[in-house]
Structure 1
């Protein structure tokens, strides 16, 4: 099972331990599988909106605790938090959330899909378990070990609970994901995998530097998201123009040029997922101040990959701007022609009126 279904299995295991529970507290992250994992398990997600701090979207701890008190701890299955995610959202405040869960005796499940490759994300989980409560954390195999899609690792600090999750799975499962990881790790070795983790950190710094230079060259800026160790974002204010067409076009242009990891996020996108409508979908909040482009430094990325991405992004931005300029010139010309036609028509009407006055009243 991949990450989404693995999270569902965790929730179904907790169902037997908390029979009165019907809600899952969930600080918002705009990825469909996260939301669907809770709905598929038969629970009602309680969405906690993030708060804007500078450019970053961070966990609203007061809203989380207030919602727990409102619903009652016994009616809450768990708190479902997230580590690595697309900027400008940053990892949840795991330590504080873990303390809240411990204080109210509520299980805590962490979506760590991208986080295994980040020492910072893993440190957050360790600290959360040390000062509070974290029952399980789930990570994706393909995102962290460069293997085919379709597997996940469910881990935790409570062995009996992890065994209960394992026993919940009905029937048999494919051994392919486990075999893929085994072959990959045997090929890389411990030192080889650690080298990839070290290179990823270096590539994140390099990507940040290059993306900042490109943003400044196009009168944009790199969003300041120091708490996100994997993903970056740059504004798209100069091409947004209060509509999402240009932003969407940029995203599609990058995708057709084999830049598959970047996301162009327009403003005000509406999306309904399992009956719940999200405003500003993909931006993790209802009203982020500007449209932006995401880029991430994932494990396996090389310097030449960053250089090629920056080169293609630069070309795409130039093409979009040229098309916008051409469109504005054409619309301006059309507008001028229409204005001239209106003036000419008004002049003709005025001539008709003056002609009628000069002729006097009709007999």
Structure 2
């Protein structure tokens, strides 16, 4: 609803009440305006009503939701189930174009805008967490294994002679499969028991680097998410070690 519609509403409802509604609406719009203007993660989380308002506004920008539209093209967004459509806020068409996932889709301006703002917000979060050197990113719907595989394949371009990945052991199959799928040989580093916790064996990591040669190691594949008695890896110590050997963690 825009200002003109609110003005017309005053013919039916008291103008003072309509103005209250207009002010409430502008409160939501101000949050959306700041998000689009700054492209940064809001300092305070949005209410569900603001999120739903934004998503519904974006959805009506996609061609599959145009009034009177009949999508018959080979790449038109269509959905048979109203339940599925509601679950996805009718953002049906998708993003990207001609093999470029970052490209704007002409038939889905709303979905493309959501994609762009999502990437911008995630980039802001990455920088906030300390990754200052990152200049761009994009969000794709992939789980642990495939995401790690793509990371390893990207690192291969930086270290084409590397064969091994040092892996402080964590009993999670996707982590292990991702290294094999990318064509590398995992070198399992058994953890050490400290009290009632399993911790990173830094001495063994150092020994394997010396044994295999730093030039033959792609990276150290570490983790911060695990189940007891395993605890998060000693990331700071591993980072210092990797930096001294000039390969990634």
| TM-score for both structures, normalised by structure 2 | 0.43
Which protein shows a greater Rg? 1
Q: Which structure has more strand as a fraction of its residues?
A: 1
| TM-score for both structures, normalised by structure 1 | 0.30
Report which structure shows greater RCO (CA 8 Å, sep ≥6).
1
